[in-house]
Amino acid sequence: MRRQKQIDELLKLTPQQLDRRLNWQMNTQEVRDDHDISRKSLNEMIHAPYIPPSLQKGILDSTSGTTGNVLIRQDLEPTLYALFVKVFPAFERLAKGPANGLVHAFNQITTPDSAALGSTIITELGTVNYVASTYVRQTAPIAVFATGRGLSIKELAAVQQGGAPYDPQKTELTNGMIKLATDVQYTIMQGNASTSSGAGSTTELGAYNANAFDGFRSVLGSVGTYTTNSANQLDIGSLNILETLQSLATKGANNGGNPDLAFMSMNSKQALDSEQQGNQRYNDDKNEITPGVRVNQVAWVNGNLQVIPVPGSSIGTYTRTSDSATVEDMYVIDSSTVTVRWLYSEAFTVLQIPSGVDGALSNRFIVFGMFGLEVAAPLFGGKARRLAS
């Protein structure tokens, strides 16, 4: 709770204010744990049930500052996390849950109930029919996202003594978080860890990486191992983007879902804004998805869709097999059925490597997180393919 409160407070700050805070934290606090700042956090961590005893020992050792073990910088983590979420608000918007193994196993619903309408109605003393939904057992690999950042002690000293008003260490860590945000969102959108045959970044499967996990492009595209998962695919012909989102949400709802989230590229969001320019009064309905981050929401027949634009090439483009056109996706999902599964910690962990531990005079950090993606009911959502712009 304390960490969450800290993050919520930090999210109210602008990226510039967060930068300044990180600068202050890194310059005013000792690199080592002399002020006992992380002791309480570590105490919480080592009593967490998911930390194995061998690792607890490693964490305890690092607090002494003499054994050469790494130090977990819990004090930096909330600020860096807030910076991460500013770059990728969808990560905060998606639910998180602990993974149940090296790969997370889960049931994916393909049909909620195949029995006829009214089949649950029985006579007063009739026999109740037992019916089960149809599931497919899926496994979501847990990918390790890690980046090492650091710089030489010489450079650190030179910048400080030269009087330049910046902290190169902080710059490195901030950029590291942006890179991690980019990679995590890229994998959530178009990751492919299950089908290598025919895969590639310009195909609907996405580029194959056995260490990643499957993202929305293939799971909602019903390709590769997902050909029978009943997700909806819609190609846009004459509809505009608003009508497309509404149409797709309706189809997800007809399958039993309640879609509430749409991911699209910045270009698609721009096209949506342009087409609705004349309807400004109806389309300026904003919703706060996480403290300080507000997004548009559009109405469909039975609810609202929060529209989250995804920057850069994370969603990407690929060749549509139907007509060989280059298209990009927009995803409509029922967020109650999508969970980011984690191992070790639901956010990123910052390790500080002791200076000179391997003989090199440098100050280094490793930022890492371990995540997978569970899409438990692809049929409750879907994707729309739009000619890439």
Partner 1 sequence: MATRNDIQTFPGTAEQPNASSDLYVTVLFGYNKPDVDGRINLNKKSYLDEFEGRGGVFRNIPRERAEQWAKGLDKKGKPAISRVFIQAILPNNAEEADFIGAIGKSNIPQEKFAAYIKASDTQFIIDTLGQEGAIELASRLSKELAKK
Which residues contact partner 1 by CB under 8 A?
195, 197-199, 203-205, 222-224, 227, 232-241, 244, 247, 251, 271, 275, 320-325, 327, 385-387
Nearer Cβ to partner 1 (54/238): 238
* Alpha-carbon distances of 229 from 187, 261, 277, 283, 386, rounded to whole Å: 20, 20, 37, 33, 22
Structure tokens at 339: 């969970």
Q: How far is the CB of 138 from partner 1 (least distance, A)?
A: 18
Burial (0-12, 13-18, 19+ Cβ within 10 Å), 53: exposed
Nearer Cβ to partner 1 (222/337): 222
Nearer Cβ to partner 1 (23/203): 203
Distance CA 94, CA 217 (A): 16
Nearer Cβ to partner 1 (19/204): 204
Q: How far is the CB of 49 from partner 1 (least distance, A)?
A: 42
Nearer Cβ to partner 1 (223/343): 223
CB neighbour list of residue 178: distance below 8 Å, 6 or more residues apart: 83, 87
Q: How far is the CB of 246 from partner 1 (least distance, A)?
A: 9
Q: How far is the CB of 204 from partner 1 (least distance, A)?
A: 5
CB neighbour list of residue 77: distance below 8 Å, 6 or more residues apart: 3, 347, 348, 349, 350
Nearer Cβ to partner 1 (252/369): 252
Q: How far is the CB of 375 from partner 1 (least distance, A)?
A: 18
Nearer Cβ to partner 1 (243/285): 243
Give the residue among 275, 249, 267, 251 at the shortest CA–CA distance from 335.
249
Nearer Cβ to partner 1 (212/327): 327
Distance CA 41, CA 115 (A): 52
Q: How far is the CB of 198 from partner 1 (least distance, A)?
A: 5
